[in-house]
């Protein structure tokens, strides 16, 4: 059972150290009180955090059902997806399919995107599980400490993204500013599969059932943003054909070498918007 976040106990910790009419609460008493509260918190179910409508950071996990090192990263991504302000995406790749299990969620486009990131960085570093933070820095996708540190280093977004739905289309409104020396940014849209449980019958993870969250489906460019206020439209008929209800918009700088820094993002629940 998940425990209550420690930040939920912080106000209580401050209280027990204050002066009262009876004097200052001793450290020993404070320790007893906090221990008791933590025990209660351990029995309290954690509340799930909804997908942030306007996240502050985008995490892309390149993963594979045929990779024995990936399940811990897939589990970590589930926890990260509950974090406020974080859009955590699964992007399964297909280049490990030859090991004996064909990834049921993999896309060659995801593999291409991962390689393009490596080209853009100039390090040609491609592996699974690989986490890319805001389109730039990469770390091992199961290393929680390294991911937290990379999130802290991520630059703030410079664009604002709003979405709306009409009778015929989903509209994406992008405003804000391009970073210095940037001329254009690509606006990407992808439908998201909230949760997929996969029973793996062969390969390195044979016998395991792995849960994948926020699986990005058919990430595709819907236009180029020039820094002015612009509106981009996607036919609702195309969205309905996916059978999925939630989607994500990503605004990303791009050069001839490939995708780079992400400067804006938004999610939309199309079922609620209709």
The total number of residues shown for the chain amounts to 274
The average confidence (pLDDT) of the chain is 84
Residues 6+ apart with CB under 8 A from 219: 91, 109, 110, 113, 188, 189, 190, 250
Strand partners, 80: none
**Rounded Cα–Cα distance for residues 224 and 265 (Å):** 14
Specify the DSSP class assigned to residue 268.
E
pLDDT at position 36: 41
| Among 25-34, 94-103, 202-211, 251-260, the least confident range | 25-34
- The token pair that represents 178 in the structure block: 């391009």
Query: In this predicted model, what pLDDT tens digit does every residue of 226-240 receive, in sequence order?
Result: 999 999 999 999 898
Residue 132 in contact with residue 62, Cβ under 8 Å? yes
Reported as a pLDDT band with limits 50, 70 and 90, residue 274 is low
Strand partners, 91: 62
Residue 229 in contact with residue 174, Cβ under 8 Å? yes
Q: Whole-prediction pTM value? A: 0.80
Residue 191 in contact with residue 217, Cβ under 8 Å? yes
pLDDT at position 52: 63
Architecture of the structural domain at 57-273: Sandwich (2.60)
pLDDT at position 255: 83
Asked whether the predicted pLDDT for residue 118 surpasses 70, the reply is: yes
How many beta carbons lie within 10 A of that of residue 211, not counting itself? Answer: 14
Asked whether the predicted pLDDT for residue 81 surpasses 80, the reply is: yes
Nearest to 64 by CA among 94, 85, 42, 86: 94
Asked whether the predicted pLDDT for residue 21 surpasses 50, the reply is: no
How much of the chain exceeds pLDDT 70, in percent? Answer: 80
Reported as a pLDDT band with limits 50, 70 and 90, residue 272 is confident
Query: In this predicted model, what pLDDT tens digit does every residue of 57-70 receive, in sequence order?
Result: 999 999 999 999 99
Q: Parse the chain into domains and list their residue ranges.
A: 8-42, 57-273
Collapsed DSSP state (helix, strand, coil) of residue 122: coil
Nearest to 118 by CA among 93, 86, 149: 93
Asked whether the predicted pLDDT for residue 20 surpasses 60, the reply is: no
In what helix (H) or strand (E) does residue 60 lie, and over which residues does it extend? strand 57-63
How much of the chain exceeds pLDDT 90, in percent? Answer: 70
Query: In this predicted model, what pLDDT tens digit does every residue of 147-161 receive, in sequence order?
Result: 999 999 999 999 999
Reported as a pLDDT band with limits 50, 70 and 90, residue 51 is low
- More confident call, 92 vs 5: 92
Written as one string, the DSSP assignment of 124-183 is ----SSEEEETTS-EEETT-HHHHHHHHHHPPPP-EEEEEEE-SSEEEEEEEE-PPTT--
């Amino acid at each position: 059972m998940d425990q209550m976040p420690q930040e939920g106990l912080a106000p209580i910790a401050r209280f027990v150290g204050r002066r009262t009419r009876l004097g200052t609460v001793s450290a020993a008493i404070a320790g007893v009180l906090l221990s008791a509260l933590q025990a209660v918190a351990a029995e309290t179910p954690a509340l799930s955090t909804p997908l942030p409508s306007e996240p502050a950071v985008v995490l892309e996990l390149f993963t594979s059902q045929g990779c024995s090192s990936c399940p811990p990263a897939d589990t970590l991504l589930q926890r990260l997806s509950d974090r406020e302000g974080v859009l955590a995406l699964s992007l399964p790749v297909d280049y490990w399919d030859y090991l004996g299990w064909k990834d049921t969620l993999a896309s060659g486009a995801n593999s291409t995107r991962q390689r393009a990131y490596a080209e853009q960085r100039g390090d040609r570093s491609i592996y699974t599980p690989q986490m890319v933070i805001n389109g730039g820095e990469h770390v091992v996708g199961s290393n929680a400490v390294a991911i937290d540190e990379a999130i802290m280093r991520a630059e703030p977004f410079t664009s604002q993204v709003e979405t709306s739905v009409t009778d015929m289309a989903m509209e994406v409104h992008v405003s804000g500013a391009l970073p210095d020396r940037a001329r254009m940014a690509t606006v990407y849209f992808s439908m998201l599969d909230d949760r997929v449980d996969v029973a793996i019958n062969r390969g390195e993870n044979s016998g395991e059932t792995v849960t994948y969250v926020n699986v990005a489906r058919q990430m595709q460019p819907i236009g180029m943003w020039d820094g002015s206020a612009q509106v981009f439209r996607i036919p609702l008929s195309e969205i309905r054909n996916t059978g999925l209800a939630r989607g994500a918009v990503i605004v990303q700088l791009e050069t001839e070498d490939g995708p780079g820094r992400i400067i804006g993002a938004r999610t939309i629940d199309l079922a609620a918007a209709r």
